Structure 1
């Protein structure tokens, strides 16, 4: 059994201490989340501060009196210091890694970037947003027993599906074909997005690895991003598709920062030429400035790492691709981006957006 963070308790531990069913506490968690203290990331799960025991005890006592929901929430709201304390921590910086074309190394870059940021002592949450062909857990060499799909089918909390990845990064595995999401009751959909929103107050960075292309799911993951990192290669079709993706985002009036990271290059001059070509077209035809986020060489050490299911940045032998990823992490971590300017959590904005679409079915793809 894993030991909770010092002074913090898992929901299972609280269940044991109160002699209440775990499923009952999960129900209370969903309905009365605003009257519970915030949780923190303890590696592969979220845990509560010790005072949450008293919160759950009060909620259970009020429920046992068979009061109406309105009366229960009214009494909870009147209790001093029983709700959430305002968080002073800045919201997490969300980086969406995407591409117009598949096979450009996007997932490998996302995984190794997450580890590089963790090695800079940052709390990192890596989300596999490729719901059709989720593979981040395979590249990381971890077994994801629970995914977004099991979150829905087994009525779990988001904390239950977080997997501990290499170097202590937290991972949420993707899934395929979550059709049930389109028909979720309002309270459950609201709860799920609030859980994702909570991640923004726990992590320093949230990295979302999307599928390739310009599907509604990809565009919605892009909408929540502070930074959009478009991966391309020297291949002509990859360049064309990268430009097509950027153009689609501009047409959707997505106002995030756009950056280009060029993979599989032979040398620095080739990387510079590719960036310049894409940046010039974007500036001329879209009136959009692109940031040069760097490049990564074509290197056999990547293939060897994939076969071993081990991130290449953790290989004992020095390799130039690890140097490129570390440079990218340093650039992102030390640039002049000010996350404090964003006051509204990104997943709350996404929830508002989905509400405006009148349930057009995109939610099943987004999550």
Structure 2
């Protein structure tokens, strides 16, 4: 991000009073299309006139850069190693989407000293005033560090496919979070469904298992068909929602984003919860 861009961000802070919603996108295993969903979902929210920041926390993979065919100038690692501002490491992706490239940042965040961590929280808090949504693309599975992030967000979107191993791993990941937080909302996205019926059946099986053994309610955010356009877009290194807006996968993704925003509007204000920043600070201090 250039100096002028950083300056414009600081100027926006003076007039904005909103607090971004934090959304983590996770999966139980790799290879289910989690990062691709995170990217296209963020773009879909942006198309709905929402201010979105995509934060790549898929450790060591740099999937967002790969999916858009670009190499970001900076990553979260530079924030710590070069004493940069978080606003300065934001890259601009397709359609002007703001994103922070990953790398090996998550482990660094929780191994730093308290002074550096407080600086990170302060900088991240400023970003939460700039956007409507901050989407965290988590690594596959759950580590001790990623669990702290997951327990701090407002909600979690779980990506699975109809494959039994994917469903089993998704359940295990949800269970891992539920053991530590009984109230955090989960929604399910079934990716690579051969048809709508397969997608809904996959969700129902997972939902019944979660309800029976974890005593938790989860909802279906939507299904994405097994569309060959997605692979073509990946090879071309373009988000499929921009590569071919009229394909079945793009239509499904747009419907998912609309359903997501409609649920937000109809849920109303249930209760005030601690902010992402305060919860993350709590888990950092707890681990000292």
Range moving further from structure 2, 165-174 or 329-338: 329-338
- Partner in structure 2 of residue 352 of structure 1: 282
Matched, 1:282 2:210: yes
Measure, in 1, the Cα distance between the counterparts of 2:16 and 2:270.
13
Deviation of 1:4 (Å): 4.4
Measure, in 2, the Cα distance between the counterparts of 1:254 and 1:343.
14
> Considering only aligned residues, what root-mean-square deviation do their CA atoms show, in Å?
2.3
Measure, in 2, the Cα distance between the counterparts of 1:339 and 1:167.
31
Measure, in 1, the Cα distance between the counterparts of 2:140 and 2:205.
21
Structure 1 unaligned residues grouped into runs of 5+: 11-41, 50-83, 359-367
Asked if 2 retains the 8 angstrom alpha-carbon contact of 1:128 and 1:173, the reply is yes
Of 77, 98, 101, the residue aligned with 1:170 is 98
Measure, in 2, the Cα distance between the counterparts of 1:180 and 1:47.
26
Measure, in 1, the Cα distance between the counterparts of 2:105 and 2:53.
23
Matches within 5 A, 1:1-367: 4=4, 10=7, 42=8, 46-48=9-11, 88-89=17-18, 91-176=19-104, 181=109, 184-316=112-244, 318-335=246-263, 336-338=266-268, 341-342=271-272, 344-358=274-288
- Partner in structure 2 of residue 78 of structure 1: none
Measure, in 2, the Cα distance between the counterparts of 1:201 and 1:349.
17
Structure 2 unaligned residues grouped into runs of 5+: none
State the structure with bigger RCO (CA 8 A, min sep 6), 1 or 2: 2
Aligned residue pairs total 286
Judging changes above 3 Å, is the alpha-carbon distance between structure 1 residues 257 and 104 closer, same or farther for their aligned structure 2 residues? Answer: same
SS at match of 2:123: helix
TM-score using structure 1 length: 0.73
Deviation of 1:178 (Å): 7.0
| Bigger radius of gyration among the two | 1
Measure, in 2, the Cα distance between the counterparts of 1:347 and 1:214.
20
Measure, in 2, the Cα distance between the counterparts of 1:114 and 1:327.
13
TM-score using structure 2 length: 0.91
Measure, in 2, the Cα distance between the counterparts of 1:226 and 1:270.
29
C-alpha deviations, 1:39-60, integer Å up to 9, x for none? xxx5xxx3336xxxxxxxxxxx
Deviation of 1:134 (Å): 2.1
Range moving further from structure 2, 134-143 or 321-330: 134-143
SS at match of 2:83: coil
- Partner in structure 2 of residue 65 of structure 1: none
Deviation of 1:95 (Å): 1.2
Judging changes above 3 Å, is the alpha-carbon distance between structure 1 residues 340 and 218 closer, same or farther for their aligned structure 2 residues? Answer: same
